[in-house]
């Protein structure tokens, strides 16, 4: 790592963290409403589930193009482009005459989410010095978590007056607010940013081939981390239902688990910077795996609550860790394109996790499926212990 003057951590708060928080609120507001909208338009339960899955498909589709877009437009313009796309998609959701139109809009929302997230990730990687990177990216992840936590409550308040459309209007309002912040608040300059290459930038395929050794090792680890984390999102509610708990109780305990994540994101980032990435990602996955393996052994609300909190602690401990490891591994030239490929691995894992739980449940039992997800977390811990460099930076 070459020493070069960069932006301080808190100076990027208004221009980086505030738009990310607003975008997260919007995403959280519409997340529980998308399947309900599909059902309202006449879709079956299976169709509603497919429409929800298309949000993740959109993120996967958008990851690689997002990198090239950030290079060609710059991070701020790429974010404004993403907000324009999401506003168009939300308009389509509000006016959708059929499930097919809703599904297409959901894909666009997923794509815009990839572009928005990649642009912020790339900027923070460039702007913040290496010794503060863990704190910066864990805070970025924390803003997203806070937004996703608060969004459903704001959506519910709006829906009490406007019906299902209220949640989409919340996202519209916060997306417009995020665009205003980006247009009005100046972004601190990155004084040490590497000058762009002369001529056309390297193609995505060329950059992926050049950094394939990192992607096929650390990238696979990131994929498994994403799968384990996403499995938690279905394991907690499904096992709560299995125990006979009412939906309100399950939802409350899921929210408490999410609150635990929000409480520790900054300490986790501080530890990342002081101790190294390996000393965060490995314990995070071990705790998550342990809680998943033990969850099927619970028979009452007390132990179920304790393990839900342990899951929240383990997942929160790793807040921003995948972004940070990706930033450490990213090259100075073609950084955004590399990060797009890196995020693709994590997003594929996020999509695979719930599918894994569903498949194993279909052929075995729910308990076996949740325990399998825990085993995935243990494998992720082993791979990260093997491949994350001791000094925190990948070459």
- Does 313 lie in the same domain as 221? yes
218 within a domain of the structure (yes/no): yes
193 within a domain of the structure (yes/no): no
Binning pLDDT at 50, 70 and 90, where does residue 200 land?
low
196 within a domain of the structure (yes/no): no
Q: Is the pLDDT of residue 395 over 60?
A: no
pLDDT recorded at residue 7 = 60
Binning pLDDT at 50, 70 and 90, where does residue 221 land?
very high
Task: Report the chain's mean pLDDT, rounded to a whole number.
Answer: 89
pLDDT recorded at residue 191 = 59
Mean pLDDT lowest among 97-106, 153-162, 354-363:
354-363
Where helices occur in 128-219 by DSSP H, the ranges are 133-162, 165-184, 204-210, 212-214
The conformation of residue 2, written as its DSSP 8-state character, comes to: -
Of these ranges, 71-80, 192-201, 253-262, the one predicted with the greatest mean pLDDT is: 71-80
- Does 320 lie in the same domain as 183? no
- Does 216 lie in the same domain as 159? no
54 within a domain of the structure (yes/no): yes
- Does 134 lie in the same domain as 77? yes
Binning pLDDT at 50, 70 and 90, where does residue 20 land?
very high
The conformation of residue 97, written as its DSSP 8-state character, comes to: -
Q: How many domains does the chain fold into?
A: 2
Mean pLDDT (whole number) for 77-95: 96
290 within a domain of the structure (yes/no): yes
Q: CB-based contacts of 309: which residues, under 8 Å, 6+ apart?
A: 256, 257, 260
Distance CA 32, CA 50 (A): 14
By the 10 Å C-beta count (0-12 exposed, 13-18 middle, 19+ buried), 32 is classed as middle
By the 10 Å C-beta count (0-12 exposed, 13-18 middle, 19+ buried), 346 is classed as buried
Binning pLDDT at 50, 70 and 90, where does residue 254 land?
confident
372 backbone φψ class: left, alpha, beta (φ>0; ψ -120 to 50): alpha
- Does 333 lie in the same domain as 260? yes
392 within a domain of the structure (yes/no): yes
The pTM of the full predicted model, rounded to 2 decimals, is: 0.89
- Does 251 lie in the same domain as 174? no
Residue with tokens 């059929």: 98
pLDDT recorded at residue 121 = 94
- Does 209 lie in the same domain as 155? no
Domain end residue (candidates: 187, 220, 235): 187
32: enclosing H helix or E strand: none
Binning pLDDT at 50, 70 and 90, where does residue 8 land?
low
- Does 216 lie in the same domain as 68? no
Q: Is the pLDDT of residue 111 over 80?
A: yes
Q: pLDDT of 120-138, one tens digit each?
A: 999 999 889 999 999 999 9
61 within a domain of the structure (yes/no): yes
Domain end residue (candidates: 187, 221, 244): 187
CATH number for position 291: 1.20.1250.20
In contact, 232 and 376? CB cutoff 8 Å: no
The conformation of residue 218, written as its DSSP 8-state character, comes to: I
Mean pLDDT (whole number) for 368-393: 89
- Does 212 lie in the same domain as 172? no
- Does 220 lie in the same domain as 95? no
CA dihedral 233, 236, 241, 247 (to 10 degrees): -70
pLDDT recorded at residue 117 = 94
Domain residues for the domain of 162 are: 9-187
Q: At what angle do helices 133-162 and 99-127 cross, to 10 degrees?
A: 150
314 within a domain of the structure (yes/no): yes
Q: CB-based contacts of 138: which residues, under 8 Å, 6+ apart?
A: 265, 266, 268, 269, 272, 319, 320, 321, 324
- Does 213 lie in the same domain as 179? no
- Does 386 lie in the same domain as 251? yes
Domain end residue (candidates: 142, 158, 187): 187
- CA 285 to chain centroid, in Å, comes to 16
pLDDT recorded at residue 255 = 84
Mean pLDDT (whole number) for 299-326: 94
Question: 380 φ, ψ to 5°?
Answer: -60, -40
pLDDT recorded at residue 172 = 97
Question: 43 φ, ψ to 5°?
Answer: -75, 150
Q: Is the pLDDT of residue 211 over 50?
A: yes
Binning pLDDT at 50, 70 and 90, where does residue 322 land?
very high
């Amino acid at each position: 790592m070459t020493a070069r003057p960069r932006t301080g951590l808190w100076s990027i708060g208004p221009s980086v963290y505030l738009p990310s928080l607003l975008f997260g609120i919007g995403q959280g507001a519409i997340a529980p409403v998308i399947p309900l909208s599909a059902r309202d338009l006449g879709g079956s339960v299976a169709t509603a589930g497919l429409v929800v899955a298309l949000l993740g498909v959109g993120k996967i589709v958008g990851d690689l193009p997002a990198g090239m877009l950030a290079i060609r437009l710059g991070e701020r313009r790429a974010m404004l482009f993403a907000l324009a796309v999401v506003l168009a998609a939300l308009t389509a959701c509000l006016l959708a005459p059929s499930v097919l139109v809703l599904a297409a809009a959901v894909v666009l929302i997923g794509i815009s989410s990839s572009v928005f997230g990649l642009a912020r990730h790339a900027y923070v990687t460039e702007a913040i010095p290496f010794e503060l990177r863990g704190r910066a990216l864990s805070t970025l992840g924390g803003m997203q978590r806070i937004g996703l936590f608060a969004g459903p409550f704001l959506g519910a308040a709006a829906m009490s007056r406007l019906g299902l459309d209220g949640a989409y209007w919340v996202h519209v309002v916060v997306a417009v607010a995020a665009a205003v912040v980006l247009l009005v608040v100046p972004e601190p300059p990155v004084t040490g940013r590497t000058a762009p290459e002369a001529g056309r930038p390297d193609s995505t395929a060329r950059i992926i081939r050049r950094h394939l050794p990192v992607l096929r090792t650390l990238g696979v680890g990131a994929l498994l981390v994403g799968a384990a984390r996403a499995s938690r999102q279905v394991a907690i509610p499904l096992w709560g239902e299995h125990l006979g708990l009412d939906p309100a109780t399950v939802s409350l305990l899921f929210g408490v688990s999410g609150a635990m994540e929000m409480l520790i994101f900054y300490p986790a980032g501080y530890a990342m910077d002081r101790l190294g990435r390996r000393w965060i990602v490995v314990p995070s996955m071990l705790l998550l795996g342990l809680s998943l393996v033990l969850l099927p052994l619970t028979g009452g609300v007390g132990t179920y609550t304790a393990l839900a909190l342990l899951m929240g602690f383990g997942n929160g401990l790793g807040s921003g860790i995948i972004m940070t490891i990706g930033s450490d591994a990213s090259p100075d030239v073609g950084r955004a394109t590399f990060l797009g490929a890196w995020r693709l691995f994590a997003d594929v894992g996020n999509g695979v996790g719930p599918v894994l739980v569903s498949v194993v449940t279909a052929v075995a039992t729910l308990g076996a499926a949740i325990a399998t997800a825990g085993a995935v977390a243990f494998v992720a811990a082993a791979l990260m212990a093997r491949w994350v460099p001791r000094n925190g930076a990948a070459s």
